[in-house]
């Protein structure tokens, strides 16, 4: 499950998204340069092949490692998009373009938010949407909604099969895993699955907080939010931490985990982006990223634990902190927040920021592991994560080894 939000102001658009997916489904930051393609070329997306266009824009994506498409991303023109699963009464196709494919295709082919909306609608009509959307839950599929922004405008695009509705955003707007555009939502929403996703709870929370937000630091707080009055994740027996924007897996019927987070400040001629590149923004660090500052040494994560990728190195911190969140997070929270505030105001280049972040991750992980005690989560949460650790061959006790190469 996911949450995406935007604020449209005079001269600026703010954007933020948490991507919530299966807990072991590593998500990678992926830079792709502008490219020219041969006439008649074909493009293989996640499940289907479609005609390629003659030229594609440079993009920066945050995508599940096994998908061609992406959960969120931006392009060289500042077009920035976040995707949401939505549950509708329309038939789910066995194959087609996934919502993540549609997102990446729009970023590669459109230079404005309006053109990106038109691109997704056109592709939807030509190829439809469908296919499996989860690595762990075989056959799990859904339809999609999007927030599509550029430095001047932003839109909500909601779909149900090949049907769609569009709403231009004025002021603050959040979406989650349910249809929201009046008329379209009443006609197509699957009310039972929408209820199970807890999206109404999360959207009420994000919308309320968003309407009081003024800058990127406020967006970071929303993405880290565990619900009204809660400083730590709360776990329901049925769906774990699905009731708050910062989602923590652990339910016996439905479980989802925030596996990547993104914030953007879009202005004409000046677009800034920050991404975690890791799970659980409450335990992580937003780092400045840019389409023209590719990083080569973040690793190639999969669903198997390794110490060569940033995503899995951070899991040694994330999975330790959440065993006793209120005691262990404060070990490094103040330092993390101070660095992040400075980076939101004056972002360094990506290579320098990621190098510093790697050193901090090593230090924070060692400090947290040195003070780690008993796991204070409920028995069903402990059992859930023990199973995910076994499936990914993740050793909770093994610390990542920092080398300068990891931070170059």
In tens, the pLDDT along 65-119 reads 999 999 999 999 999 999 999 999 999 999 999 999 999 999 999 999 999 999 9
Lowest mean pLDDT across 247-256, 286-295, 357-366: 247-256
**Assigned CATH topology for domain 2-299:** Penicillin V Acylase; Chain A (3.60.60)
Residue 407 has pLDDT above 60, yes or no: no
Determine the Cα–Cα distance for residues 390 and 65; give it in Å rounded to an integer.
Answer: 19
Could you tell me the sign of the dihedral formed by the alpha carbons of 380, 382, 383, 384, in that order? positive
pLDDT digits (tens, 9 = 90+) for 200-251: 899 999 999 999 999 999 999 999 999 999 999 999 999 999 999 999 999 9
Is the whole model's pTM more than 0.85, yes or no? yes
Residue 268 has pLDDT above 90, yes or no: yes
Strands (DSSP E) found in 10-161? 12-21, 27-32, 35-36, 42-44, 49-51, 55-56, 59-64, 72-75, 80-86, 143-149, 154-160
**pLDDT of res. 408:** 41
Burial class (CB in 10 A: 0-12, 13-18, 19+), 229: exposed
> What are the catalytic residues?
2
For the segment 7-21, the average pLDDT, to the nearest whole number, is: 97
Comparing C-alpha atoms, which of 107, 119, 148, 141 is closest to residue 15? 148
Q: Give the position of tokens 């099969």.
A: 161
Burial class (CB in 10 A: 0-12, 13-18, 19+), 352: middle
pLDDT digits (tens, 9 = 90+) for 381-404: 999 999 999 999 999 987 765 554
Residue 17 has pLDDT above 80, yes or no: yes
pLDDT digits (tens, 9 = 90+) for 105-160: 999 999 999 999 999 999 999 999 999 988 888 888 999 999 999 999 999 999 99
DSSP structure string for 261-325: EEEEEEETTEEEEEE-SSS-TTTS--EEE-TT---S-S----SS--SSSHHHHHHHHHHHHGGGH
**pLDDT of res. 401:** 59
Comparing C-alpha atoms, which of 241, 252, 251 is closest to residue 281? 241
pLDDT digits (tens, 9 = 90+) for 331-366: 999 999 999 999 999 999 999 999 999 999 999 999
Q: Is 341 helix (H, G, I), strand (E, B) or coil?
A: helix
């Amino acid at each position: 499950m996911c949450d995406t939000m935007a604020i449209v102001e005079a001269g600026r658009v703010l954007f933020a998204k948490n991507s919530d997916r299966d807990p072991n489904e590593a998500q990678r930051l992926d830079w792709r340069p502008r490219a020219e393609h041969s006439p008649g070329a074909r493009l293989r997306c996640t499940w289907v092949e479609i005609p390629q266009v003659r030229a594609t824009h440079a993009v920066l994506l945050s995508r599940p490692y096994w998908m061609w498409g992406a959960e969120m991303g931006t392009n060289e023109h500042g077009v920035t998009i976040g995707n949401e699963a939505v549950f509708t009464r329309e038939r789910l196709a066995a194959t087609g373009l996934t919502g993540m494919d549609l997102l990446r295709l729009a970023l590669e082919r459109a230079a404005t938010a309006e053109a990106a909306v038109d691109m997704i609608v056109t592709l939807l009509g030509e190829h439809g949407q469908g296919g499996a959307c989860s690595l762990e839950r075989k056959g799990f599929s859904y339809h999609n909604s999007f927030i599509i922004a550029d430095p001047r405008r932003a839109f909500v695009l909601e779909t149900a099969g090949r049907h769609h509705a569009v709403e231009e955003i004025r002021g603050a707007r959040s979406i989650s895993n349910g249809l929201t555009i009046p008329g379209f939502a009443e006609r197509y929403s699957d009310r039972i699955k929408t209820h199970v996703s807890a999206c109404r709870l999360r959207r009420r929370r994000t919308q309320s907080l968003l309407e009081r937000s003024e800058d990127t630091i406020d967006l970071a707080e929303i993405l880290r939010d565990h619900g009204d009055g809660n400083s730590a994740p709360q776990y329901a027996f049925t769906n774990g931490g699905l009731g708050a924007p910062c989602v923590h897996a652990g339910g016996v019927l439905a479980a989802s985990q925030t596996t990547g987070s993104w914030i953007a400040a879009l202005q004409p001629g000046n677009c800034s982006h920050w991404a975690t590149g890791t799970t659980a923004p409450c335990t992580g660090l937003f780092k400045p990223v840019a389409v023209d500052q590719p990083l080569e040494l973040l690793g190639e994560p999969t669903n198997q634990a390794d110490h060569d990728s940033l995503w899995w190195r951070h899991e040694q911190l994330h999975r330790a902190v959440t065993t006793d969140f209120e005691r262990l997070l404060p070990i490094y929270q103040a330092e993390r927040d101070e660095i992040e505030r400075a980076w939101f105001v004056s972002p360094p280049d990506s290579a320098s920021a990621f190098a510093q972040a790697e050193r901090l991750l090593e230090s924070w992980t060692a400090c947290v592991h040195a003070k780690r005690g008993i796991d204070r989560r409920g028995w069903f949460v402990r059992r859930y994560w023990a199973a995910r650790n076994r499936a990914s061959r993740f050793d909770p006790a093994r610390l990542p080894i920092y080398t300068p190469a990891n931070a170059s």
